[in-house]
């Protein structure tokens, strides 16, 4: 009887979680990530070729209005190669770009800061997440490391977490002081984990969040107990799915599948998810019923 009610609950949840989707922007050159300052949307474009580690100079940041209408398709006034994850610190938009993190003034698009991580041996910096106003974390998916960067001094600290499998998406929760990590194995092996990191410099602890395995990318917090994560499933086909994670119960359920998505953004004010459709060149708005 318990199993019967559990099955019914899952079915009802699946129906309730069905999403309405709309393309709000199209014609972009491989959009990878998107962020908002509450006034505008900013999406990073890898460029004409889907070459996420190439220093080819054809990457860009596009500025859109909140409805997705392009304002400036080349907002950045300095060269970018294959920009991916972003975070905003005050009036500066920071962008992960191959082996460096570049800061742009939100008003002018001028380059105002750069943190060089090439000496760390990475060519695939992916996501950024902010801690306070002085520190951000950046993932280096290719070398299995996460770096803590002090913005004012450019001090770089590698978190001492052994055997991380392709840390990709990052999300820092200030209320709990937890850094959530979405893992991706770039060899197209779906063995990435969803985990969380606690502790402080020199004493970090990594814990697996669920038994889900995949090729995880974007990670956003819906509420204090719920994460939404994108999972490529495979890089060879369009099979990306969205998972809803119950943090306390350490469980998950699939809420969308067979979509085109890379990173994801939860826009709290608009109560919507925005997904860059990397292959199609679109920004897609999802509203879950």
Name the residue with tokens 């905003």. 88
CATH of residue 176's domain is 2.120.10.30
Domain count, the chain: 1
What does the alpha-carbon distance between residue 167 and residue 143 come to, in Å, rounded to a whole number? 9
- What average pLDDT does the segment 36-62 reach? 98
Is the per-residue pLDDT at 196 higher than 60?
A: yes
Structure tokens at 13: 């949840």
pLDDT digits (tens, 9 = 90+) for 57-76: 999 999 999 999 999 999 99
Domain that holds residue 149: 2-288
> Once rounded to an integer, what is the mean pLDDT over residues 84-97?
99
What integer is the mean pLDDT of 114-142?
98
Beta strands 100-105 and 92-97, pairing class: antiparallel
Strands of the sheet containing 125-131, edge to edge, are 125-131, 135-140, 145-150, 155-158
Res 9 pLDDT > 90: no
pTM of the model: 0.92
Given this model, what pLDDT does residue 5 score? 37
Cα(186)–Cα(53) distance, rounded to whole angstroms? Answer: 12
| Cα 210 to Cα 163, 195, 227, distances in angstroms | 17, 7, 12
The encoded tokens of residue 49 equal 């070729």
With bands split at pLDDT 50, 70 and 90, how would you rate the model's confidence at 200? confident
pLDDT at residue 8, rounded to an integer: 36
- For 130, the 3-state DSSP assignment is strand
pLDDT cut 90: percent of the chain above it:
84
Residue 3 confidence (pLDDT): 42
Nearest alpha carbon to residue 212 among 187, 225, 198, 231: 231
Tens of pLDDT, residues 227-285: 999 999 988 888 899 999 999 999 999 999 999 988 999 999 989 999 999 999 999 99
Q: What is the pLDDT of residues 224-233, one digit of tens each?
A: 999 999 999 9
């Amino acid at each position: 009887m318990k199993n019967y009610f559990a099955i019914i609950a899952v079915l009802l949840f699946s129906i309730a979680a069905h999403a309405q989707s709309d393309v709000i922007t199209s014609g972009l050159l491989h959009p990878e990530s998107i962020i908002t300052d509450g006034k505008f949307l900013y999406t990073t474009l890898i460029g004409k070729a889907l070459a996420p580690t190439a220093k080819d100079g054809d990457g860009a940041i596009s500025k859109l209005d909140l409805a997705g209408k392009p304002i400036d398709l080349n907002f950045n006034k300095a060269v970018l190669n294959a920009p991916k994850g972003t975070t905003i610190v005050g009036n500066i938009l920071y962008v992960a770009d191959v082996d460096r993190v570049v800061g742009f003034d939100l008003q002018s698009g001028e380059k105002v800061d750069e943190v060089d991580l090439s000496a760390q041996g990475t060519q695939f910096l992916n996501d950024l997440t902010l801690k306070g106003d002085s520190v951000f974390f950046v993932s280096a998916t290719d070398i299995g490391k996460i770096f803590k960067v002090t913005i004012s001094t450019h001090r770089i600290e590698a978190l001492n977490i052994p055997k991380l499998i392709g840390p990709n998406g990052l999300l820092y929760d200030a209320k709990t002081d937890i850094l959530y990590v979405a893992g991706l194995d770039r060899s197209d092996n779906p063995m990435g984990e969803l985990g969380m990191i606690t502790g402080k410099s020199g004493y970090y602890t990594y814990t697996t969040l669920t038994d889900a395995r995949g090729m995880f990318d974007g990670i956003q917090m819906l509420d204090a107990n719920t994460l939404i994560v994108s999972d490529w499933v495979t890089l060879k086909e369009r099979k990306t799915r969205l998972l809803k994670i119950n943090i306390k119960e350490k469980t998950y359920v699939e809420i969308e599948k067979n979509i085109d998505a890379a990173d994801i953004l939860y826009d709290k004010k608009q109560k919507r998810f925005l997904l860059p459709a990397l292959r199609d060149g679109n920004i897609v708005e999802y509203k879950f019923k």
